[in-house]
Amino acid sequence: MLSHNSQTIYGTTIVAIRRENHVVMAGDGQVTLGAQIMKGKAKKIRRIGGGKVLAGFAGATADAFALLERLEAKLDQYPSQLARACVEMAKDWRTDKYLRRLEAMMIVADTQKTFLMSGNGDVIEPDEDVISIGSGGGFALAAAKGMLSVPDVTLNIDVIARRSLEIAADLCIYTNNQIIMETLS
């Protein structure tokens, strides 16, 4: 987990859930500077790659935007190849002195794959159909997994994503209930 520097602006909790070729990504709207809420309705999820990829970020806001721009450039270079674009971005992240100091994480997803891009330049494809990042990520992940595992109940993943962020907002002081959601099918 990234430690909070009181002089850095942070975005917080993102969750992504997939079921077959449908993926939903949800993020809260809170941005903090130290212990102060700077903004309550930030949009931390973007459509990139011609609208075919969702990217959600947590961590230092300026760093996240820098990484988002780099990933978008890689998607332009490798269209419709999310895995390759992520790996090429990770190579840059690990070798570039500027990128290595960035404090952000991203979840990126298209209709086929979901990846976590860590602050160390790692690219991780989750074993399960749910993943989360940010200060409230553990709460959102636990809530989503709990709802996904209820026997004989098939909840809509949009409902699960929203409810998991609401639960995280109830538990994490860096997460609020101003939820933005994006879906791909």
> Mean per-residue pLDDT for 157-167?
96
Domains of the chain, residue spans: 9-174
Distance CA 183, CA 83 (A): 19
pLDDT tens for 24-60 read 999 999 988 877 888 889 899 999 999 999 999 988 7
Q: Which helix (H) or strand (E) holds 172?
A: none
Closest to 126 measured CA to CA, from 147, 99, 145, 143: 145
- Judge whether residue 23 has pLDDT over 90: yes
Choose the CATH number for 9-174 among 3.60.20.10, 3.10.129.10, 3.40.50.300, 3.40.190.10: 3.60.20.10
C-alpha distance from residue 125 to each of 115, 150, 166 (Å): 5, 24, 25
What's the pLDDT at 155? 86
Pick the more confident residue, 104 or 26.
26
What's the pLDDT at 1? 43
Cα–chain-centroid distance for residue 162? 14
- For the ranges 3-12, 35-44, 82-91, 103-112, which has the lowest average pLDDT? 3-12
> Mean per-residue pLDDT for 157-162?
96
pLDDT tens for 53-99 read 999 998 877 777 888 888 999 999 999 999 999 999 888 777 766 65
Q: Which residue has the tokens 């947590």?
A: 58
Q: pTM score > 0.95 for this model? A: no
Supply the residues annotated as catalytic.
12
> Mean per-residue pLDDT for 98-102?
62
Distance CA 83, CA 112 (A): 10
What's the pLDDT at 95? 74
